[in-house]
Amino acid sequence: MDDLLFELSLILPQIILGLVNGAFYALLSLGLAIIFGMLNVINFAHGAQFMMGAFAAWMLLNWLGIGYWGALVLAPLLVGIIGIVIEKTMIARLYKLDHLYGLLLTFGIALVIEGIFRNEFGSSGLSYATPPEFRALDLELGDFFLPGYRVWVVIVAVVMCLATWLVIEKTRIGAYLRAAVERPQLVQAFGVNVPRMMTLTYGAGVALAAFAGVLAAPIYSVHPGMGANFIITVFAVVVIGGMGSILGAVVTGFMLGLVQGITDVFWSEASATVVFVIMAIVLLTRPAGLFGRA
């Protein structure tokens, strides 16, 4: 009985910590899902853009003296603009072609971005201090100490995901978006500028990745490879959730964070592989993903 209680007291913190990881998965796969839904492009550069967000926060702080809150707004904006430029100059040329070209192009873009940051900042990683105001949120549960910043990450990720979902499902812009996914020509005929909408969608998806990057900066070491660590897992999350499904991306993201958090306790060796095993099972039983339509 004591054992069980002990295990339980172990699990509760893990659930919370798992949610933090889930928050990152959710934010990243949400951006991927939006981009894929609208542009039909798998954005391989998503990890690199996440990394750029973290670096942008670091540069804003160390070069311009702009702190965390400013970075939370400015970094996604800056990286989003870079995303818009990338879309305008490169991705937009590929819409009429096989979607795989989009994957290859963004793979190349990811290599270039990572390489440039490696040259500029080395690889040992930079530190971004946690803003002190989050100390007020620190939680102390017996032996378990939960930094306030992690609580903040979960809250802000949930809010962000909800807001995105609301924009897409409940607003006029969202309605245009959904319509343009189904029938681009028709929507264009109604006088909606579909190409611009695609550009802005890509920018928004990239900004979401950068936003996640700023959130991650105080937790992880800020280094050029930080996005590549995430991106393959996030791909698996997207496949499990079902491509293009926004709800699927968010729910699966949080869920897999939880599953990983619990695996960490019972079988830590498997916590990196568990996502791929789940992916294989989902593919066997529901090839379109948990929330996808076939």
Partner 1 sequence: MAEGSIAAAGGIAARHEEAGFLGFTRPQALAFLVLVAAVLVSPFFLYPVFLMKILCFALFACAFNLLIGYVGLLSFGHAAYFGMGAYVTGYAAKAWSVPPELAILMGGAIGAALGLPFGWLAIRRTGIYFAMITLALAQMVYFFALQAPFTGGEDGIQAIPRGTLFGIFDLTADLTMYWLVAAIFLVGFLLIHRIVHSPFGQVMKAIRDNEPRATSLGYRTDDYKLMAFVLSAGLAGIAGGTKALVFNIATLTDVLWTMSGEVVLMTLVGGLGTVFGPVVGAAVIITMQNYLAEFGAWVTVIQGGIFIACVLAFRRGVVGEIGNALKVKL
Partner 2 sequence: MSLNRRTLLGAAATAPVWGALPYRSAKAQAANTIRIAVLNDQSGLYRDLSGPGSTQCVRLAVQESGITQRGINVEVVEADHQNKPDVGSTVARQWLDRDGVDVIVDVPTSSVALAVNNLVRERNKVFLNSGAATSDLTGAQCSPNTVHWTYDTWMLAQSTGGAMVRAGGKSWFFITADYAFGHALERDTSNFVRSQGGEILGSVRTPFPGTTDFSSFLQQAQRSRAQVIGLANAGGDTINSIKQAAEFRITRGGRTKLAGLLVFVTDVHALGLEVAQGLVLSETFYWDMNDKTRGFTQRLGAMPSNVKPSMVQAGCYASVLHYLKAVGDMGVAAAKASGAEAVNRMKAMPTSDDCFGEGTIRADGRKLHPCFLFEVKQPSESRGAWDYYKLLGTTPAEQAFRPMNEGGCALVRS
Q: Which is nearer to partner 2, 176 or 220 (CB)?
A: 220
Tell me the closest approach of the beta carbon of residue 149 to partner 2, in angstroms.
Answer: 7
Tell me the closest approach of the beta carbon of residue 220 to partner 2, in angstroms.
Answer: 6
| Contacted by 18, from partner 2, partner 1, none: CB < 5 to 8 Å by type | partner 2
2-10, 51-59, 103-111, 196-204 -> range binding partner 1 (CB under 8 A) = 103-111
Q: Which is nearer to partner 2, 144 or 176 (CB)?
A: 144
Tell me the closest approach of the beta carbon of residue 19 to partner 1, in angstroms.
Answer: 23
62-70, 138-146, 179-187, 272-280 -> range binding partner 1 (CB under 8 A) = 272-280
Residue 172-211 contact track with partner 1, rule CB under 8 A, x = bound: ----------------------------------------
| Contacted by 98, from partner 1, partner 2, none: CB < 5 to 8 Å by type | partner 1
For the chain, the distance separating the N- and C-terminal CA atoms, rounded to the nearest angstrom, is 46
Q: Cβ distance 41 to 83 under 8 Å?
A: no
Q: Which is nearer to partner 1, 98 or 143 (CB)?
A: 98
**242: region left, alpha or beta (phi > 0 left; psi from -120 to 50 alpha):** left
C-alpha dist (Å) from residue 99 to 72, 96, 113, 271: 32, 8, 22, 32
On the 0-12 / 13-18 / 19+ scale of CB atoms within 10 A, 288 is middle
Q: By CB under 8 A, name the one of 61, 111, 126, 167 that touches partner 1.
A: 111
Give the DSSP letter of residue 181.
H
The verdict on 222 binding partner 1 (CB under 8 A) reads no
Separation between Cα atoms, residue 30 and residue 104, nearest integer Å = 21
